[in-house]
């Protein structure tokens, strides 16, 4: 398992540094919490041949990795910022001083400049949430809404800790999705590469041989040769057209109408739609449970949690439910119209938990169970997708091979 270097606040206010072994960042944070430490920074230790040969020697130069200058704040920098700010505020450090510490200990120039910008806005009298809202490329709307709820309720340190935990879990879940889709994507690229190679470089050599037969070619062979000729003659134009169509579709998808149409198509897709809805429900339940556990009022927590769903169609459906809750309705009954997002069993669990006063705990538990189920469904889907991709690759290549072999049998019959 990987090693992690950490710096954390102890219960007596001192700073502890060390290493621990964990399967991932989320588990490392849980181990630190079990030791009574409030994390400040956590970074995975890079393994190199020099460190394995001499593990006792300090490797300060090895820690100075080459970094390309970028104005974009990485997800790791934002997570470390959130967790450290939570720890400093919980230790009684004033907000302005905590932001100064974060600015000085930033791991990159871009992060340092951004934290200083937030500090300057707060010093000028702006709230932390409003200061963060001026940088939407760094702080998502959900992040800002949670910070605003924490500032309003006076428990900013708790909300920031919850945000950091949420970011860690979100990163792990997103990493599982990307890992699951990596192998099918590689197979698809390889299949396209092989087919293009055959059509551009392989088929023309056979075409020169077939031209001297003096006999008509099979329909399949003529279609393959025509495709090869079109690709060699107009391939660049086709590529340019595809790029133009792609840019047009991207502009359309970025519009309100296009995004809603695309999200509706995704939700109606046979396999992808249920997975997207399941992922959105897990995010919504975890966010809502986290906010309720931090004593955020229900209506305010719902308004924040709906922004974490991601799909605007589902957001609109939840917005109607929030209106009914604000009018005095029960949460479980109000969410009953969101059947695309909440199955009947989940609604029953929410209703029972609401009556027993354990809604926050139950929502987090539902999110954990849903994420585990989503992980299993992804693995099953990928396991089915891999042989399907191999079958398609074999089908394309086999079709081209058969199309090139058929004229040989035609030539033998013609000679007889």
- What per-residue confidence (pLDDT) applies to 12? 66
- What per-residue confidence (pLDDT) applies to 59? 38
- Is residue 38 a contact partner of residue 87, using CB atoms and an 8 Å limit? yes
Strand order across the 15-21 sheet: 15-21, 3-9, 38-44
Predicted TM-score of the model (pTM): 0.59
Whether 39 maps to a domain, the answer reads no
Whether 382 maps to a domain, the answer reads yes
Whether 94 maps to a domain, the answer reads no
Strand partners, 19: 5
- What per-residue confidence (pLDDT) applies to 50? 37
- What per-residue confidence (pLDDT) applies to 69? 41
State phi, psi for 381 to the nearest 5 degrees: -65, -40
C-alpha–C-alpha distance, residues 253 and 258, integer Å: 4
Whether 16 maps to a domain, the answer reads no
Cβ neighbours of residue 415 closer than 8 Å, sequence gap 6 or more: none
The count of structural domains within the chain is: 1
C-alpha–C-alpha distance, residues 245 and 250, integer Å: 8
Q: Which residues of the chain register pLDDT less than 70?
A: 1, 11-14, 26, 40-41, 44-71, 173, 208-215, 408-416
Q: For 56-125, where are the alpha helices, taking DSSP H only?
A: 60-63, 75-90, 95-104, 109-123
Task: Return the SS3 of 15.
Answer: strand
Angle between the N-to-C axes of helices 219-254 and 359-415, in degrees from 0 to 180, rounded to the nearest 10: 150
Q: Residue 404 sits in which domain range?
A: 141-416
C-alpha–C-alpha distance, residues 136 and 149, integer Å: 17
CATH of residue 315's domain is 1.20.81.30
- What per-residue confidence (pLDDT) applies to 71? 65
Whether 37 maps to a domain, the answer reads no
Whether 386 maps to a domain, the answer reads yes
Whether 81 maps to a domain, the answer reads no
- What per-residue confidence (pLDDT) applies to 213? 60
- What per-residue confidence (pLDDT) applies to 415? 53
Of 304, 378, 316, 359, nearest to 341 (Cα)?
316
Strand partners, 4: 20, 44
Whether 28 maps to a domain, the answer reads no
Q: How many helices (H) and strands (E) does the chain have?
A: 18, 3
Of 236, 230, 191, nearest to 399 (Cα)?
191
Q: Which own/partner pairs from 125-134 qualify as long-range (CB within 8 Å, at least 24 positions apart)? A: 127/151, 128/95, 128/156
């Amino acid at each position: 398992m990987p090693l992690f270097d950490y710096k954390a606040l102890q219960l007596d206010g001192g700073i502890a540094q060390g290493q621990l072994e964990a399967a991932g960042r989320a588990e490392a944070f849980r181990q630190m919490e079990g030791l009574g430490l409030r994390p400040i920074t956590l970074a995975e230790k890079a393994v190199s041949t020099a460190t394995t040969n001499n593990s006792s020697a300090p490797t300060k130069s090895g820690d100075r990795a080459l970094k390309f200058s970028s104005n974009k704040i990485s997800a790791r920098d934002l997570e470390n910022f959130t967790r450290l700010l939570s720890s400093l505020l919980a230790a009684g450090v004033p907000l302005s001083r905590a932001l100064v510490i974060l600015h000085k200990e930033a791991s990159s120039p871009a992060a340092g400049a951004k934290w200083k910008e937030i500090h300057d806005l707060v010093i000028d009298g702006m709230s932390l949430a409003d200061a963060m809202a001026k940088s939407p490329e760094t702080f998502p709307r959900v992040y800002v809404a949670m910070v605003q709820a924490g500032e309003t309720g006076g428990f900013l340190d708790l909300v920031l800790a919850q945000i950091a935990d949420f970011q860690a879990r979100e990163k792990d879940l997103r990493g599982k999705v990307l890992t699951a889709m990596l192998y099918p994507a590689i197979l698809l690229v390889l299949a396209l590469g092989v087919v293009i190679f055959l059509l551009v470089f392989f088929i023309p050599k056979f075409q020169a041989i077939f031209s001297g037969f003096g006999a008509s070619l099979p329909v399949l062979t003529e279609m393959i040769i025509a495709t090869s000729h079109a690709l060699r003659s107009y391939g660049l134009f086709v590529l340019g057209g595809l790029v133009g169509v792609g840019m047009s579709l991207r502009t359309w998808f970025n519009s309100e109408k296009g995004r809603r149409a695309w999200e509706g198509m995704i939700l109606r897709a046979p396999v992808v739609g249920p997975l997207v809805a399941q992922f959105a429900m897990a995010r919504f339940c975890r966010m809502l449970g986290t906010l309720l556990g931090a004593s955020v009022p229900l209506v305010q927590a719902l308004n924040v949690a709906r922004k974490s769903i991601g799909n605007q169609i589902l957001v609109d459906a939840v917005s109607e439910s929030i209106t009914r809750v604000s009018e005095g309705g029960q949460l479980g009954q109000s969410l009953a119209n969101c059947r695309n997002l909440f199955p009947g069993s989940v609604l029953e669990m929410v209703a029972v938990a609401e009556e027993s006063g354990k809604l926050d705990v139950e929502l987090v538990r539902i999110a954990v169970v849903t994420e585990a189920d989503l992980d299993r469904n992804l693995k099953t889907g990928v396991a089915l997708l891999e042989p399907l991709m191999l079958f398609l690759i074999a089908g394309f290549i086999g079709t081209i091979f058969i199309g090139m072999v058929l004229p040989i049998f035609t030539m033998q019959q013609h000679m007889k």
